[in-house]
Structure 1
Amino acid sequence: MKPNPLWELENIFEGATFDDFLFRPQHGVVGSRRAVDLTMPLSRNLNIKTPIVGANMDTVTREKMMKALALEGCFGFLDRNCSIEEQVGRVKYLKRQHSHVIEKPAVLSRRHSVGQAKTIMKVHNVSGLLVESTPGSGILVGIFTHRDLLAAGSDNSAMIGKYMSCLGKLVWAQPGITIEDAEKMMLKHRIEKLPLALKPGRNISGLITMKDLRVAKQKPYSTKDRKGRLLVGATVGAREDFIERAEALIAAEADCVLMDIAHADSDVIQKAVREFRAKFKDFELVCGNIASRDGAKFLMDLGVDAIKVGVGPGRGCRTRLETGAGVPQLQAIREAYLGVKGEIPIIADGGIKNDKDIALAIFCGASTVMLGGMLSGTDEAPGELVEDPASKKKVKIYRGMTSPEAVFDGPEGEDSLEERFNTPAEGQAIKVDYVGSVVDIIKRVRGHLQSAVSYMGHETLMKVHKDFSNAPSKYLIRLTESSRKESFER
């Protein structure tokens, strides 16, 4: 089967989605599926080792989910259904988590009280504070940890200088120390935290913790930046405060911005992307959503770094039901791939019901897959775990971002609350079963995806993506009603 030279949609994809296909197994070459490499491009300049992206929804991806996904080699985009300050705070929090070197550790002066230290430690979710000589001096004189907090007990009014580990007993190092030497030093002195300070003035310049070094060893596939910090994505709109929001997120060191609206093949997005590029030049920008070949080419020509594909396939979306607009998701993925001729990555957003859908999405043209509903019932998803009075099952609430509930909770911005409520909803809130930790979900998906790659006769997902996308009709089998029942009904 020759590659498609005209970049035209193959007939097999017309009106098709995930349950319409199986792929024909090829000769296997891997001894164990665990050896299969799943690394894929998230965008033009960012790669991730497990091609799963947390949906930018307020019931899916916030701090807890983002952290868990990044540690498992995945990625996520923080939602924008909050104030700029709240979103920026989440980015800053995540950039402090599990880095090789904490460049801006929490610092108090020796004259701050134990009560103030408790508050700071709780707000920043840290177990220790570096202590400076006077407020703003930056001169290291000690460290105050959770052990000192226990020793202080209820003595909240006392100064932390009374309980901290003083300079004479403090083990510290200069910036530039290797991670290996830092670990040896901490093991030798049986300490959990190693402050970094410049000689001769002992100016505070960072902190290394044994906890972060352990995580780095346990999860070498984590999604991190060059400084060993978690990679963080965040969402903006395309009107009103989007430039102000993007500027604040970039200043907070977000690694990638997602410009997200329901219909991105539009003049609104064209104007917004051009304004973004004029202000932020080559900063990594993902844009969506579209569902056609022309829409994908339109965004690529605007200079975005990845495209998010899907109009109405998700459980929380009613766009197809209410408007009739949309393209079957696997067809949309294929159209987008052909529209950009494989030149920039595609994020397939929505319609994923099970793990084989993820494999088919990537084989047919997507680089990564965005999950919402599949992650929304996990411990890490925002929202309270409740018991459904009818079924007695534990459930969480999952909602589309244009549902009335999400609109009500959103910040002031593009439209007034009255205007938003006067616009008919294209999203809905639903109950989803509680499924435990997202880590277990990702491990399961990773294993099934590795198996799918092995059935395709390759050692890497990228190689399957290239071969399959080049000639999908060589591998795909379009199912009949009977073969669909045989395959998927159990």
Structure 2
Amino acid sequence: MNLVVDNTVDVNGNEKNDIGMVVIRGNSVVMIEALEPVNKTHFSQSEQQPYFWAASSTTLVSSSIGSSGTKIYFSWNSGILVHFRAMDGILLEDGFPADRLFNQGYSYTYDDVIFLPHYIDFPTDSVNLRTKLTKNIDLYIPCVSSPMDTVTESSMAVSMAALGGIGIIHYNNLPFEQAALIRSAKSRRIPFISDPIFKSPSDSIDSIDEFASSPCVFVTESGNSKSKLVGVVAKSDWESLTEKEAPVSEYMLGSPFSAPSNYTFDQAAAFLAAKKLDYVPLVSELEGEVVDLFTTADVQRVCGYPKLGVPSLGPDGKFMVGAAVGTREQDKERLEHLVKAGANVVVLDSSQGNSIYQIEMIKYVKRTYPELDVIGGNVVTAYQAQNLIQAGADALRVGMGSGSICTTQEVCAVGRGQATAVYKVSSIAEQSGVPVIADGGIANSGHIVKALVLGASTVMMGSFLAGSNEAPGTYEYQDGHRIKKYRGMGSLEAMTKGSDARYLGDTSKLKVAQGVVGAVADKGSVLKLIPYTMQAVKQGLQDLGAPSVESAHNLLKTRVLRLEVRTGAAQVEGGVHDLVSYKKKSF
């Protein structure tokens, strides 16, 4: 709409002499004062005093000077004001637009930058986190678990899908093993995986330790989950035996009640309550194998967590699960196993994605499996991104050397600060409608907010999820702290197992580590961690005036949202400081 502004009349036709002021540069109106919400904003212009306020996305139509002062005609495009003031001709700005901040030759991390708050006109609960993983896959929360062998296997993939995100199963294993992990995750509809013990009828139970992870032992024809269930041994029954070395066939109970493996959590809980059972095996209706064990303890535990959101389900009604794959010739055979196992999306897992190997692999995947979405990466520059987009990538994974266990920038002298990388790649990918996954550098909910606002549609998390109940590995104790191992896929330990292909290495040559092996603290269950984290993300987006991830992108693109670079002292001030001691508990 065209507005008329002069020194006596505001946009509503009311006489206002001191409400605000306008200044023009060339053919653009660059400064306007806004004292109230947009629909009640008043403007005025003074020829005498150069005290100006600014707005974005306004274009001058014409101006004229008469006896009553200067009249300025301009078009109002964005409808949202950004507040600035110039005093005595010197422009005093509140922050910088992203395109200006990230074009100064500096490589910024998430901690280097801070967003300035905007206008709130909606409650936190109305913030919608639904987003795009790829061109064709939607998620209800912007969370992806990293394809690392200490982060994502079946249990993590199940929990992430149950929460509305997705897990990407690593490929530091044999093709049939990775396919089995995918099948295991997709065969479930409850948000966790138990670890039941199996025996054949002729086996004996040697120790009470065999009941450590389960209240019972299942007896099947072959002694594993992939055969018919014939009986069950309860812990209390075994403890009452006088001859504990006896074969389980002599004292097991007959085949117990079972429930279909595709039962949801609520259905399985209702089944237990109706039958007045303490546990029930979940059995595949097709193969008849025991998929999982569901207990009343599970019901009590999960009911203590925040309510589950909308799960990520594929067209087949099963949990969506992703899988990583390499770019070598033999990975084409692996890819076939993954597709047959039901993988919903594949991630081409490479530390430097702009290679002929990945470009050819993207083309192969799109040619051979046109319905399968493929995520390319990793990239950190617009040039890298453009090559993979042109090859046909459905999404891009952004990050190089930013992970807590990654030493690529130190060892190879290449990479980029993650905030800069996400902004630069997102800017070019957005033009082609290709979503971006911010991979690496996520240590807290604030980093997630920054990644999303800077252009990412989702964030991929490694160390943030490592150490959780659902992460692979067993807990250990170190200096009184409960920990789990967490290693980079570029560490020598992981590369020896096979991940060197990710770094374009040759197994016959010397291996150079681009990662380390470490440990992370126990984080509990992701079924609790992620919901609380997402609530914090919602509050962050609310402070920025963005009711959705898409709106956050638009506010940044239209230069409404502003950023500043934080000094070292500002970063210290922004954290906990000046205390003798404290205990940090996020939820």
Tell me the TM-score range normalised by the shorter chain. Answer: 0.7 to 0.9
SS at match of 1:377: coil
- Report which stretch shifted further, 328-337 or 449-458: 449-458
In structure 2, the partner of 1:378 is 468
State how far apart, in whole Å, the 1-side matches of 2:477 and 2:445 are. 27
Alignment deviations for residues 12-45 of structure 1 (CA, whole Å, 9 cap, x no partner): 12422212322222222333x2343211111112
1:220–1:449 Cα change, 3 Å = closer
Question: Contact 2:449 / 2:540 at 8 angstroms: preserved in 1?
Answer: yes
Alignment deviations for residues 365-390 of structure 1 (CA, whole Å, 9 cap, x no partner): 000001111222223222332333xx
Question: Contact 2:135 / 2:434 at 8 angstroms: preserved in 1?
Answer: yes
State how far apart, in whole Å, the 1-side matches of 2:320 and 2:258 are. 30
In structure 1, the partner of 2:365 is 276
Question: Contact 1:40 / 1:47 at 8 angstroms: preserved in 2?
Answer: yes
State how far apart, in whole Å, the 2-side matches of 1:204 and 1:381 are. 27
State how far apart, in whole Å, the 2-side matches of 1:284 and 1:264 are. 16
Q: Is it true that 1:51 corresponds to 2:138 in the alignment?
A: no
> What amino acid does structure 2 have at the position aligned with 1:407?
M
1:97 deviates by 1.5
1:63-142 correspondence runs (5 A): 63-98=154-189, 113=201
Alignment deviations for residues 419-451 of structure 1 (CA, whole Å, 9 cap, x no partner): 2xx132211222333333333321331111010
Alignment deviations for residues 233-277 of structure 1 (CA, whole Å, 9 cap, x no partner): 110000032111111011011111111111111211111111222
Alignment deviations for residues 428-477 of structure 1 (CA, whole Å, 9 cap, x no partner): 22233333333332133111101012212243x23433323423x43122
The one of 81, 100, 120 aligned to 1:28:
120
Question: Contact 1:39 / 1:47 at 8 angstroms: preserved in 2?
Answer: yes
Q: Is it true that 1:18 corresponds to 2:106 in the alignment?
A: no
1:402 deviates by 1.3
State how far apart, in whole Å, the 1-side matches of 2:275 and 2:466 are. 43
State how far apart, in whole Å, the 1-side matches of 2:530 and 2:233 are. 33
Identity among equivalent pairs (%): 24
State how far apart, in whole Å, the 2-side matches of 1:204 and 1:384 are. 29
Normalised by the size of structure 2, how large is the TM-score? 0.65
Question: Contact 1:128 / 1:143 at 8 angstroms: preserved in 2?
Answer: no
Question: Contact 1:75 / 1:232 at 8 angstroms: preserved in 2?
Answer: yes
> What amino acid does structure 1 have at the position aligned with 2:149?
D
State how far apart, in whole Å, the 1-side matches of 2:98 and 2:187 are. 45
1:469–1:250 Cα change, 3 Å = farther
State how far apart, in whole Å, the 2-side matches of 1:477 and 1:206 are. 54
1:187–1:244 Cα change, 3 Å = same
State how far apart, in whole Å, the 2-side matches of 1:11 and 1:408 are. 44
* Matched residues, number: 452
Q: Is it true that 1:302 corresponds to 2:391 in the alignment?
A: yes
Unaligned segments of structure 1, at least 5 residues: 101-111, 117-121, 133-137
SS at match of 1:80: coil
State how far apart, in whole Å, the 1-side matches of 2:493 and 2:263 are. 50
1:210–1:300 Cα change, 3 Å = same
State how far apart, in whole Å, the 2-side matches of 1:263 and 1:53 are. 20
> What amino acid does structure 1 have at the position aligned with 2:363?
R
1:203-214 correspondence runs (5 A): none
In structure 1, the partner of 2:429 is 340
In structure 1, the partner of 2:557 is 470
The one of 563, 571, 574 aligned to 1:487:
574
Q: Which structure has the bigger radius of gyration?
A: 2
SS at match of 1:320: helix
Alignment deviations for residues 34-90 of structure 1 (CA, whole Å, 9 cap, x no partner): 343211111112222221111111111122222222222222211111111211111
Question: Contact 2:418 / 2:441 at 8 angstroms: preserved in 1?
Answer: yes
Question: Contact 1:197 / 1:206 at 8 angstroms: preserved in 2?
Answer: no
State how far apart, in whole Å, the 1-side matches of 2:524 and 2:264 are. 38
Normalised by the size of structure 1, how large is the TM-score? 0.76
Q: Is it true that 1:326 corresponds to 2:415 in the alignment?
A: yes
Q: Is it true that 1:441 corresponds to 2:529 in the alignment?
A: yes
State how far apart, in whole Å, the 2-side matches of 1:474 and 1:409 are. 48
1:454–1:269 Cα change, 3 Å = same
In structure 1, the partner of 2:131 is 40
State how far apart, in whole Å, the 2-side matches of 1:193 and 1:385 are. 26
1:319-468 correspondence runs (5 A): 319-342=408-431, 343-388=433-478, 391-410=479-498, 417-419=507-509, 422-459=510-547, 461-468=548-555
Question: Contact 2:98 / 2:562 at 8 angstroms: preserved in 1?
Answer: no
1:126–1:143 Cα change, 3 Å = farther
State how far apart, in whole Å, the 1-side matches of 2:167 and 2:109 are. 24
1:166-185 correspondence runs (5 A): none
1:131–1:292 Cα change, 3 Å = same
| Root-mean-square deviation (Å) | 4.5
State how far apart, in whole Å, the 1-side matches of 2:323 and 2:409 are. 26
Structure with the larger RCO, 1 or 2 (CA within 8 Å, 6+ apart): 1
- Report which stretch shifted further, 61-70 or 309-318: 61-70
1:284 deviates by 1.4
SS at match of 1:317: coil
1:199-278 correspondence runs (5 A): 219-278=308-367
> What amino acid does structure 2 have at the position aligned with 1:488?
G
1:143-154 correspondence runs (5 A): none
Question: Contact 1:52 / 1:74 at 8 angstroms: preserved in 2?
Answer: yes
Question: Contact 1:186 / 1:194 at 8 angstroms: preserved in 2?
Answer: no
State how far apart, in whole Å, the 2-side matches of 1:196 and 1:75 are. 23
1:467–1:86 Cα change, 3 Å = same
SS at match of 2:442: coil
1:225 deviates by 2.5
Unaligned segments of structure 2, at least 5 residues: 1-55, 59-96, 192-199, 205-210, 222-226, 578-587
1:354 deviates by 2.0
Question: Contact 2:452 / 2:549 at 8 angstroms: preserved in 1?
Answer: no
1:363–1:411 Cα change, 3 Å = closer
1:318 deviates by 1.0
- Report which stretch shifted further, 444-453 or 20-29: 20-29
> What amino acid does structure 2 have at the position aligned with 1:274?
K
Per residue, is there more helix in 1 or in 2?
A: 1
